[in-house]
Structure 1
Amino acid sequence: MVHAGRNWSRAFQDIREGIAARELWGHLGWQDIKQRYRRSVIGPLWITLSMAVTAAGLGLLYSQLFKAPVPTFLPYVTVGFIVWNFILGCLTEGADSFISNEGLIKHLPAPLTVYALRTVWRLTLMLMHNMLVYLAVLVIFFGSLTTDGYLLSEHGVPQPGIGWNIVLAIPAFFLIALNGGWVALLFGIISTRYRDIPQVIGALTQLVFFMTPIMWSTDLLTQRFGEGHSWAILIAELNPAYHFIQIMRAPLLGLQQSWHHWAVVGGVTIIGWALALVAMRNYRARISYWV
């Protein structure tokens, strides 16, 4: 006998109706941005300014520490930060998707998927603001980034430079955002039941940040340990965040890109949505009680 609250059709129906209610989650996500920067002089442009200052400061600092050319390494750090901020938001804010919407869940008869999409849409708006920093960096260092064979670090691997494949950044972002959906649903459900999960995620993401090639490149590992030390490269390759960042950063900066980055992200997408659907089937009906 199937439990009344555990129904595949209701889980799929919730997701379908949630996606269809784009006016609702679109409005809620935009209001989140407006509310966060209400009464400030430049409003949401604080998002752009904050990213610009962080990327410029750390990009200049680490380019000197690693003896890397500023015209290519600073854009590398900038785009890495932009994509990482979106991923980080999906993990940390996604875990609070249902907890932070307690009042609406209890009083608004809407699909639970709406609140996960609200989070992803809000983070998408923030990423769009941050992309203004990328455009500024692209204009400033356009000559260096379009040069065939440019280097990210001294004696590093030559990069092909920005070309027509820059358009691959669009499907890359949609694939990352698609993963943000299952992250918000799965972690949101788990976090409503176990309130320690957001703190655990917050602590682990700090470790993942330093282990992900954002402020350093894989060229540095090869130069430091040599080609024979494959374990050094595994530090990056076994980190899913690296592959998510790379599928979007590579086309935006004209970096070499391997198909295996897309394969890893595709595999994570399938597994993640499978787990999210199982969670929706088993615990969707209990969320309103847990919050």
Structure 2
Amino acid sequence: MKPVNFDYIAVNSVEEAVAALSQAGGTAKIIAGGQSLLPILNMRLARPSLLVDINKIPELNRIERVGNELRFGATVRHHQAETSPVVQEYLPLLAKAIPLVGHRPIRSRGTLVGSVVHADPSAEIPLVSLILDASLELHGTDGVRTVALADFFFGYMMNDLQADEVATALVFPDITCQPGSKRGTSFQEMARRDGDFALVSAAGQIDLHDGVIADVRLGVGGVGGAPQRLVETEDFLKGKEATIDLLMEAAEAIGDLLEPDDDPAVSAQYRRSVAIGLTKQVLIEAFLEASTDKEGGK
């Protein structure tokens, strides 16, 4: 199939983009990388009257540290972030997740902000961004607002982005290790083939201080309508001495926190079982990495 007819405009500023969206009365779509939008258009699951191309806005193509935050503009490509030394240093969990996004041609065009706004519960970037307390900067006719990802996702491909708003940046707060702590990270997923959407994924980050879990961030994707942060599991682990037995106990218990649906691909029970298994892998890998002599201060 091919898309329905639509108009196209390439804007030069965020203000122009907001104005175009407003004038379209809720029937326009933003396009940056197009790796999620174009297939949806071809299948006619979306029928916009207008596509607003934001690729000519120069300030949206930057990865930059602003104060204690690391900001990714709306047209920053996955490959751009994948090869960034800043990402490797300050967001090692994100650096591990990005190479699992599709294939190289997809990462060369797709954007981090676009992945988050698309809100696919199986996607890698929304899950990592959620557990690292990221937020989206949104520009609309009523001004600028910032929305934490914990409040952004409503359900499968549903979010808090308004029809007249442009998501201009994905912002990560400063969550560097405390002095004397060491950090380990892991991202695991199960897919039918390399490059396919994950059926289930898990992401985790552990900070150890003298063998005690000073901080832990953990979440799973593909087991509900949105990526899920496992806050109860994090609370259970924090402040305890890290052992393999403790981590296995925590991973086994997440089954009670998940409510996956049955679908034509796999059963709910299968998704739950895989999520538990991947969470075990994530916790062990992050623990072992944090237990090495390598400093994890960033």
> Do they superpose with TM above 0.5?
no
More helix per residue: 1 or 2? Answer: 1
Q: TM-score, normalised by structure 1?
A: 0.26
Which one scores higher on RCO, CA 8 angstroms, separation ≥ 6?
1
Larger Cα-atom Rg: 1
TM-score by length of 2: 0.25
Name the structure where strand makes up a greater proportion of residues. 2
